[in-house]
Structure 1
Amino acid sequence: MTGLTLYRHLDEMAPWNDHLQVLEVIGVVDEAPDVKTFAFRSDAQTWFRYKPGQFVTLELPAADGPLMRTYTLSSSPSRPFSIAVTVKAQPGSLGTRWMFDNLKVGSRIKAFGPSGDFTLHDHPAAKYLFVSAGSGITPMMSMLRWLNDCAPWTDVSFVNCARRPEEIIFRRELELLGSRMPGLSLGFLIEERSSRESWFGHMGRIDAVRLSLLSPDFREREVFCCGPEPFMRAVRGMLEAAGFDMARYHQESFAAPVVEEVAAPFSGDGVAGDRAEAIPVRFAQSDVEGQCRPGQTVLQAARASGVRIAAACEFGLCGTCKVRKLSGEVEMNHNGGILDEEIAEGFILACCSKPLAPLEIEA
């Protein structure tokens, strides 16, 4: 891309479309031990429209087959020409380790989204409390960056927990924002000292006493929490014990779906009652005729028929398995992974849709 075509005004560009464009890596930054930020732009010079705190699903072309991994955006939609994810490589993690080893500037990967409803835009308030641990800081950083760009006077109490000082992700940027945002109050809490970096701040694990110390007026705030499940469970318990209005508590969590065995396709030898209850499903692009047994989703029927539909969360949250319904009706129970206008255009989420009549989908 030449310098003459590198810059275009936003009103000259279309929003990014996950069905048409892929992401190109434009930067890789080390944030903390085993933590990197990967920045992307569209390969077609489009801009990114999303809410701070939402996530994308990346399709990682690993050697043993594509890996679908969901990551929260750490970037802010107030800077719409690129997006970024900040990821921590946990022991045994496959997708993140693949990214560490393979993604370089210029690499291209497919992505789906954005999705998710963990965002302050859906819960406007006069005062916020962000509570995070480890890589759970990423949606908070997206929201805080947006506030810094668009509403820097907002009253935000930010409590971040880490094991050691050097593991506080975005620490220097947070301290800089603390000096620029008059309404931002930062509270860091670490579990143990380190020989690599001195520490004179708060120590220990989050509890009712430390929460009151770091955010004395937490009962007056809209609370957003993200981190490991035991951490979020502890924060929920503290707030409930303190009489907090839990309608103003929001947490980001990607629960593991229940893995269900996919039945084999029909051989024609089943009992008559089973055949009568099965619903035909045609996969148009694959030119495959399948069957959906009672209780099966479109995604399960596709797998049983040898048709690949990309999927990550498999409980209607990430939106990765979005496909167009060409004909027929389905019952769809999703968790926010699809927009009303997309449903109106004929899209469904294969992981949480069950046919009600003979169905044809674009897959």
Structure 2
Amino acid sequence: MFDWKHSDSLSLTCSRKWQETPDTVSFELESPDTPLEFNFKPGQFASLGFMINGKEEFRAYSINSLPGETALQFTVKRVEGGLVSNFIMDELEAGAPVTLFKPAGAFNCIDCTTRLKVTLVSAGCGITPVMSMVKYWLANDSAVDINFIHMARSKESTIYFDQLERLDKQYSNFNLRLLLKDNRGTRYPQGRLNKEWLFTLCPDLQERTVLLCGPEGFMHDIKGYLQESGFDMNHFYQESYTPEAAVSQEPADEEAGGNVQISVPGFGVELEAEHGSLLVEALEQGGLPIIAACRSGICGSCKCKVEKGSVESTSKETLTEAEIDQGYVLACSSHIKSDVEVGF
């Protein structure tokens, strides 16, 4: 297994890429030299760097392959206006270099303690991390009973549709429960995943561990249905980031208004930004070497230190208490509230 203790990043090559649905592609990354076996926890994501127009751009995507394999597999959905997702869809080719950062994320089937009966609930590209969990359980622990609920527009837009059907036929402990908005040409029901459908598709839900991933609104609704039903939320886990989605923008403090000064002495840079704006945007515009992969306060790649001044942070997900006490923040989740001095 590749040992991450001696490196935070690794240069890999895109070995192949293929279409999953009209608006999603999958691709694999491998070492260009000696084959490496990659270790990670099923369900985790990794920050990736792509060269786009002469600049390396970073985003975080869930890994959907198995630990121990020599190729890491990712699936990316086109995002309207998304710089990196559109590049991957339209321009990424086999042989292209891609930077891989150490996998991270608490949403995984190793750290999340589960019962022997689990229900995975996903929609859209939220299927990617839970698919990695499915592969792991089926390959290593036949005792886990898996109820797999996925919501999609149609058969054609269902990521991994053929693979899911094969698993459903091959494994007695894997039960596929698709719900489609347009179910023409399939055996699956049609509808929207509301509370009634949730318990129809999994009548013994109260006896299971639920792992949830999908668009933010979808996850909010599903979590609400569980809480309304009296589900034991100690057996509930959900992913905390949405790939290539910017963190929600807070309105600037109208009473304060105006601009603030940002000083980065280590690089001899002085910047000006709007009061209340995101620190990461100001640093990027100033050409500072900051990586913002998930852009939602979960991967930790944009950690920096506010030496002076103040910011208001909406996420401290990957920071330790000691780092917080020392002034470290996640730039993608920190709104500037005064003149600040920043260090890396």
Q: TM-score, normalised by structure 2?
A: 0.77
User: What's 2:289 paired with?
Assistant: 308
Paired residue for 2:15, among 15, 26, 45?
Answer: 26
1:271 matched residue in structure 2: none
2:227 alignment partner AA: E
1:111 aligns to what?
A: 100
Per the alignment, residue 110 of structure 2 pairs with: 121
Q: Aligned partners of 2:177 and 2:56: how far apart in 1?
A: 40
Cα distance in 1, alignment partners of residues 129 and 44 from structure 2: 7
Distance 1:104 1:163 in 2: 28
Q: Quick check: 1:24–1:108 contact (8 Å CA) kept in 2?
A: yes
**Map of 1:177-326 to 2, 5 A cutoff?**
177-194=167-184, 198-252=185-239, 253-254=241-242, 256-258=246-248, 282-283=265-266, 286=267, 306-314=287-295, 316-322=297-303
Q: 1:17 to 1:144 in 2, by over 3 A?
A: farther
Partner Cα distance (1:340, 1:43) in 2:
39
CA contact under 8 A between 2:154 and 2:182: conserved in structure 1?
A: yes
Structure 1 unaligned segments of length 5 or more: list them: 1-9, 267-277
Q: Name structure 2 gaps, 5 residues minimum.
A: 253-257
In 1, the alpha carbon distance for the partners of 2:332 and 2:181 equals: 40
> Structure 1 pair 132/351, CA: closer, same or farther in 2 (3 Å)?
closer
Provide the residue aligned with 1:274 in structure 2: none
With over 3 angstroms needed to count, the CA separation of the structure-2 counterparts of 1:321 and 1:239, relative to structure 1, is: same
Shift of 1:288: 5.9
- 1:32 deviation in Å? 1.9
Partner deviation per Cα, 1:217-257 (whole Å, 9 max, x = no partner) = 11111111111223222212221221112232222233632
Q: Who is 1:70 aligned against? A: 60
Give the aligned partner of residue 6 of structure 1. Answer: none
Q: Number of residue pairs matched? A: 329
> Does the 8 Å CA contact 1:55/1:114 hold for their aligned counterparts?
yes
* SS of residue in 2 equivalent to 1:135: helix
Counterpart amino acid of 1:229? Answer: E
Aligned equivalents of 1:72 and 1:92: distance in 2?
A: 20
Paired residue type of 2:302: C
Question: SS of the residue aligned with 1:122?
Answer: coil
Percent identity of equivalent pairs: 31
Mapped partners of 1:43, 1:341: distance in 2: 38
Larger radius of gyration: 1
Task: Name the residue aligned to 1:159.
Answer: 149
